[in-house]
């Protein structure tokens, strides 16, 4: 008897959930808002924040000396950061290093020389500062070799020193427990997924529930042989299915369109995603229970999802936020979800890394579900 009752309740919950899912699918703009918009945001923010190869500083050279020491200085300037402008180019370079006449003879004679870095009015200041740094580095290397060769400096001896392996090298490595800040698609894919699943579930879930209250559908459903808990769980399951369908499609898009790893723990990803979807579904049902009209549901769902996404690190890495604000934001579910997604997708951790975020999200789900069930009026 108990098994039959449970099976009947599950069937009723499934019917109610599929009905809510059907209402969403019938809404034609839903495809744009739930799939095309998130994919566009993933691509746009991922491409904008991708850390590609660093741009080189274009530096023109005006060698008025032509001596071998001036040529050695020009050779030193060509590096990974500086690209020497070709003579006779279509456009003059934004910055030019002027080597004065008599530079080689005067330096070898011990007379101080002045190099001028001329910049156009529209030259990028950061690139100009980078050019100045590289010019200073090249000068230091030239002076160091001259100090070693002494008064007998010659092109051959100077070239031999330049070809010699460096006497001192610096090995740089990450210290402590630091970790790289997620950038590009590693930030945009989980961030957009978390934000848009929240947004669409809140808007559509709360909208349809308030519409059902306005049209009397909730009252008619309550007149059926359904318990209050079965009716509420059906609404909750419908919003869960709505978010789950969107989340799975966006995860697959992130993996196969944008090349983002889904991590090494399928169980961890499933646990985190289920906990987040339950929290969002419960929040959506809670809003639908307390709001009176579909217009209110759309406005509140939109505004609240934007605020929660900004505080939760969906738009930018949480590392750029003040620590006090980041900690305070954890009174909401979104930061917990982003912590878990980055632990799995960005840092390659396993199931143990999402146990705390998932537990927090399940706590939010329970809280919003209890509040929504108590405040949902069936009459």
Helix (H) / strand (E) element for 59: namely strand 57-63
Predicted pLDDT at 354: 93
The domain total for the chain is: 2
Q: Distance between CA atoms of 94 and 60, rounded to whole angstroms? A: 8
Residues 170, 317 contacting (CB under 8 angstroms)? no
Q: For residues 323 and 315, is the Cβ–Cβ distance under 8 A?
A: no
DSSP 8-state symbol, 56: P
- The residues that bridge with 67 in the sheet, in sequence order, are none
Q: Does 8 have pLDDT greater than 60?
A: no
CB of 264 closer than 8 Å to CB of 350 = yes
Q: What's 319's DSSP letter?
A: G
Across the chain, what does the average pLDDT equal?
Answer: 80
- Of the chain, the percentage scoring pLDDT greater than 90 comes to 16
Higher model confidence: residue 119 or residue 3?
119
Query: Do 204 and 228 belong together in one domain?
Result: yes
Whichever domain contains 93, its CATH number is 3.40.1710.10
Over range 306-320, report the average pLDDT.
85
Task: For residue 56, give both structure tokens.
Answer: 């080189």
| pLDDT at residue 81 greater than cutoff 90 | no
In a domain, 168, yes or no: no
Over residues 24-71, the pLDDT tens digits come to 666 666 666 667 778 887 888 777 766 555 567 788 888 899 898 888
Q: What is the pLDDT of residues 97-142, one digit of tens each?
A: 999 999 988 888 888 889 998 888 878 887 888 888 888 888 888 8
CA distance 332 to 304: 11
Model pTM score:
0.65
Is residue 155 located within the same domain as residue 252? no
Three-class secondary structure of residue 260 per DSSP: coil
Question: Which of the four pLDDT bands, split at 50, 70 and 90, describes residue 206?
Answer: confident
Q: Which residue has the tokens 């998932």?
A: 358
Cα angle 29, 35, 37 (rounded to 5 degrees) comes to 80
The residue range of the domain holding 326 is 2-51+189-375
Q: Which residue has the higher pLDDT, 27 or 336?
A: 336
- Considering the domain boundaries, does residue 171 fall inside one? no
Q: Could you read off the pLDDT of 144-163 as tens digits, one per residue?
A: 888 887 766 778 877 787 77
Residues linked to residue 60 through DSSP beta bridges, in sequence order: 96
The gap from C-alpha 112 to its chain's centroid, in whole angstroms, comes to 51
Q: Note whether 235 and 285 are within 8 A (CB).
A: yes
Sheet holding 95-99, edge to edge: 82-84, 57-63, 95-99, 116-119
**In this structure, are 315 and 348 located in the same domain?**
yes
Q: 81 and 16 in one domain?
A: no
């Amino acid at each position: 008897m108990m098994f039959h009752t449970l099976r009947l309740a599950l069937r009723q919950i499934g019917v109610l959930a599929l009905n809510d899912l059907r209402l969403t699918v019938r809404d034609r703009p839903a495809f744009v808002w739930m799939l095309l918009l998130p994919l566009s945001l993933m691509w746009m923010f991922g491409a904008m924040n991708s850390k590609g190869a660093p741009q080189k500083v274009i530096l023109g050279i005006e060698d008025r000396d032509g001596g071998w020491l001036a040529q050695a200085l020009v050779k030193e300037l060509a590096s990974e950061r500086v690209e020497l402008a070709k003579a006779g180019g279509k456009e003059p370079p934004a910055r030019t290093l002027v080597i004065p006449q008599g530079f080689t003879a005067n330096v070898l004679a011990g007379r101080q020389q002045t190099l001028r870095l001329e910049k156009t009015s529209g030259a990028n200041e950061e690139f100009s500062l980078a050019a100045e740094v590289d010019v200073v580095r090249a000068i230091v290397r030239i002076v160091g070799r001259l100090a070693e060769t002494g008064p007998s400096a010659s092109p051959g001896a100077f070239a031999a020193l330049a070809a010699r392996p460096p006497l001192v090298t610096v090995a740089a490595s990450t210290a402590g427990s630091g970790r790289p800040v997620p950038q590009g698609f590693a930030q945009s894919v989980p961030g957009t997924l978390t934000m848009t699943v929240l947004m669409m579930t809140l808007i559509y879930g709360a909208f349809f529930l308030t519409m059902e209250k306005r049209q009397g559908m909730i009252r008619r459903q309550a007149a059926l042989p359904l318990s209050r808990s079965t009716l509420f769980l059906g609404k909750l399951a419908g919003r869960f299915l709505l978010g789950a369908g969107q989340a799975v499609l966006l995860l697959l898009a992130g993996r196969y369109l944008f090349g983002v790893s889904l991590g090494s723990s399928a169980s961890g990803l499933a646990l985190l995603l289920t906990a987040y979807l339950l929290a969002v579904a419960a929040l959506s049902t809670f809003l639908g229970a307390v709001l009176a009209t579909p217009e209110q549901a759309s406005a509140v769902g939109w505004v609240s999802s934007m605020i929660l996404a900004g505080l939760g690190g969906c738009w930018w890495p949480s590392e750029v936020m003040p620590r006090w604000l980041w900690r305070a934001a954890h009174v909401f579910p979104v930061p917990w979800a982003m912590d878990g997604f980055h632990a799995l997708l960005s840092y390659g951790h396993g199931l143990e890394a999402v146990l705390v975020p998932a537990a927090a999200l399940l706590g939010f789900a329970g809280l919003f579900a209890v509040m929504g069930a108590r405040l949902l009026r069936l009459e």
